[in-house]
Amino acid sequence: MTFDWKYLLSLLSDVDFWLATWTVIKLSVLTWVISIGLGFLVALAQQSPRKILSLPARFYIWLFRSIPLLVLLIFVYNLPQAAPALSVVLGNPFWAGLIALVICETAYVAEIHRGGLLSINKGQREAAQALGLRFVGIQWRIVIPQALRVALPALTNEYISIVKLSSLVSVISLTEILMVGQRLYSQNFLVMETMVAVAFYYVVIVTVFDFILKRAEKMLDVTQRKVDRQPDAAILALATRPRAVAARQIAVGQGPALQASRLHKAYNNVEVLGAVNLQVEPGEVVSVIGPSGSGKTTLIRLLNGLEQIDNGEIQINGQPFIHLSRQGTQKPRIVEHVEHRLRIGMVFQSFNLFPHLSVLNNLLLAPRYHRLGAEDALKHDAYALLHKVGMLEHAWKYPHQLSGGQQQRIAIARALMMRPQIMLFDEPTSALDPEKVSEVLQVIETLALEGTTMVIVTHEMNFAFKVSDRIVFMEKGRVICDDAPAALRNGSNPRMEAFLKDVMLA
């Protein structure tokens, strides 16, 4: 039997095939889009520390990755036999097929999303949390854009799988590409020619959408973007104009800017912080020093609510920020007054800039989220702060295009955009090359001269003694001494004196 090329070419313009192709496109695109949304929710639930969320999510993934799609299609399509009311929807093969595909694909897509979520550094969520973003805001603005970029190649591959799996929907009488082919070769017995045409239509769909999704992947890849924009005269004028508000106003007589009492924290029953008290007055600069493992970073993370206290309380301007609520014999419950979080700015040792956003948008993200002002006013603040830290010319670059010192200066400007009353620095120079340390310390010193209230965890002893009003020395989770730099230099504490000698010699 010879191959009928003329018949094959006629099938490439067959109306029924093109209508079936459109059906496959609708079915596959809807399945893919819906599964991406539902799969992300299932992946989040699976990652949740709450078993009431994680266990059902894991069960769902296990179950529907185990059931063959063909079985699921037949089951869903025949479900109205047990529940007649469902026949309104499931009686239509398209909707029955869509529902079955979505149920099946959501389980697979959830695992793809889980891989994307695991790739997002914990610091990204902590940086967003420190800026006052809530759970939904963190997911929508920080996690999803980054996780989607990581997962997109796998999601593209999953879309191709969905297109091919759509051929199984013919089992419930949906007129898709394979069913049209089956009808034709059952009439003329030209199986090879018809199957080549069927393959052609599937290849067209896959090729077109693979091209579109690869383009989308390239657009989302910020590492391929070239930025050569420079601030013009108007932006320079805006940046040098004084900001209207430098910080949130502190009412006189409200007490210390920050007060921590009896803070305690343990990990796996190992105490890392025990009964620590700390009081910081408005405009005061306090440096926290001590050997590695002394609890410095734990202290500063507790002050910002990034770690949960086991005991004690924290107040901002004399008002409760974080404390424990005890009711009878029940386990104490942590109470956080989140409105005070915006009063605290946080700068991390690893910068934690958002890599999918430009420098300018890193600064604007949180103020836009909290609606702290009109867009023009916020941009004015952003340009002014970038000018202040010497980074205005880099406003349109992305974090990966900057050095460590530049990224840390951007991180300081981002924290200042929230107009905080208190700035917390967690070893801001520890991740920098020695030659980049001075440019960051200079920015912090400028803030100190301007009267910014700061708590600085640092290993830079000379800097700490130069800018601080008080120095807190910690060891083994305890405050060993808390005094002015001049008093500590006089050798009033032997342990402090020994530590300084070791550090200076090193």
Three-state SS for 414-435 is HHHCCCCCEEEEECCCCCCCHH
> CA angle at residue 377 from 372 to 380, to 5 degrees?
125
Banded pLDDT at 338 (limits 50, 70, 90): confident
Residue 133 Ramachandran class (φ > 0 left, ψ -120 to 50 alpha, else beta): beta
CATH of the domain at 155: 1.10.3720.10
Q: What is the DSSP letter of 307?
A: S
Residues whose CB is less than 8 angstroms from the CB of residue 330 and which lie 6 or more positions away in sequence, other chains included: none
Q: What is the DSSP letter of 143?
A: I
| Residue 175 sits in the same domain as residue 288 | no
Residues whose CB is less than 8 angstroms from the CB of residue 196 and which lie 6 or more positions away in sequence, other chains included: 8
Q: Which two structure tokens, joined as six digits, stand for 38?
A: 């539902």
Is there a domain that residue 244 lies in? Answer: no
Mean pLDDT computed over every residue of the chain: 90
Strand partners, 95: none
Is there a domain that residue 322 lies in? Answer: no
| Neighbouring C-beta atoms of residue 172, cutoff 10 Å | 19
C-alpha closest to that of 395 among 199, 200, 229: 229
Q: Which two structure tokens, joined as six digits, stand for 498?
A: 């020994």
Is there a domain that residue 315 lies in? Answer: no
Is there a domain that residue 201 lies in? Answer: yes
| Neighbouring C-beta atoms of residue 59, cutoff 10 Å | 11
| Residue 289 sits in the same domain as residue 209 | no
| Residue 163 sits in the same domain as residue 298 | no
Side-chain-side CA neighbours of 482 within 13 Å: the count stands at 12
Question: Rounded CA gap, 57 and 46, in Å?
Answer: 5
**Spatial contact of 72 and 104, defined as CB atoms under 8 Å apart:** yes
Is there a domain that residue 19 lies in? Answer: yes
| Residue 150 sits in the same domain as residue 296 | no
Q: Which two structure tokens, joined as six digits, stand for 229?
A: 């924009």
CATH of the domain at 369: 3.40.50.300
Question: Rounded CA gap, 34 and 36, in Å?
Answer: 5
Instruction: Please identify, among 220, 250, 268, the residue that sits at the C-terminal boundary of a domain.
Output: 220
Mean pLDDT on 5-15: 91
Burial 102-136 (b: 16+ CB within 10 A, else e): bbbbbbbbbbbbbebbeebeeebbbbbbbbbbeee
Mean pLDDT on 306-333: 87
pLDDT at 504: 64
Range(s) of the domain holding residue 110: 5-220
- Whether pLDDT at 362 is above 90: yes
Alpha-carbon separation of residue 369 from 10, 385, 414 (angstroms): 57, 19, 13
- Whether pLDDT at 257 is above 60: yes
Q: What long-range pairs does 195-202 form, CB within 8 A, spacing at least 24?
A: 196/8, 197/8, 197/11, 197/12, 197/14, 197/17, 200/12, 201/17, 201/20, 201/21, 201/24, 201/177, 202/24, 202/163, 202/164, 202/167, 202/177
- Whether pLDDT at 30 is above 90: yes
> CA angle at residue 415 from 414 to 420, to 5 degrees?
140
In total, how many domains does the chain have?
Answer: 2
Mean pLDDT on 272-294: 92
Mean pLDDT on 9-16: 91
| Neighbouring C-beta atoms of residue 310, cutoff 10 Å | 18
Q: What's the 3-state SS for 100-139?
A: HHHHHHHHHHHHHHHHHHHCCCHHHHHHHHHCCCCHHHHH
Mean pLDDT on 90-97: 93
Mean pLDDT on 334-359: 92
C-alpha closest to that of 414 among 391, 446, 439: 391
Max CA pair span of the chain? 104
Span 408-460, pLDDT tens digits: 999 999 999 999 999 999 999 988 888 789 889 999 999 999 999 999 999 88
Alpha-carbon separation of residue 155 from 33, 46, 116, 174, 498 (angstroms): 10, 19, 11, 25, 58
- Phi/psi for 420 (5° steps) reads -75, 155
C-alpha closest to that of 127 among 440, 363, 459: 363
Instruction: Please identify, among 220, 242, 257, the residue that sits at the C-terminal boundary of a domain.
Output: 220
pLDDT at 501: 79
Helix (H) or strand (E) holding 302: helix 296-303
Q: Which two structure tokens, joined as six digits, stand for 384?
A: 């002014």
- Whether pLDDT at 91 is above 60: yes
pLDDT at 25: 96
- Whether pLDDT at 503 is above 80: no
| pTM more than 0.75 | yes
Helix (H) or strand (E) holding 247: none
- Whether pLDDT at 261 is above 90: yes
Q: Express as a percent the part of the chain with pLDDT over 70.
A: 96
- Name the residue with higher pLDDT: 46 or 252: 46
- Whether pLDDT at 379 is above 70: yes
- Whether pLDDT at 246 is above 50: no
Residue at token pair 């409200």: 254
Instruction: Please identify, among 220, 245, 270, the residue that sits at the C-terminal boundary of a domain.
Output: 220
Helix (H) or strand (E) holding 273: strand 270-280
Banded pLDDT at 253 (limits 50, 70, 90): very low
Judged by average pLDDT, the poorest of 56-65, 85-94, 200-209, 492-501 is 492-501
C-alpha closest to that of 448 among 473, 469, 430: 469
| Residue 293 sits in the same domain as residue 144 | no
Is there a domain that residue 239 lies in? Answer: no
| Residue 296 sits in the same domain as residue 428 | yes
Strand partners, 473: 289, 481
| Residue 86 sits in the same domain as residue 156 | yes
| Residue 286 sits in the same domain as residue 188 | no
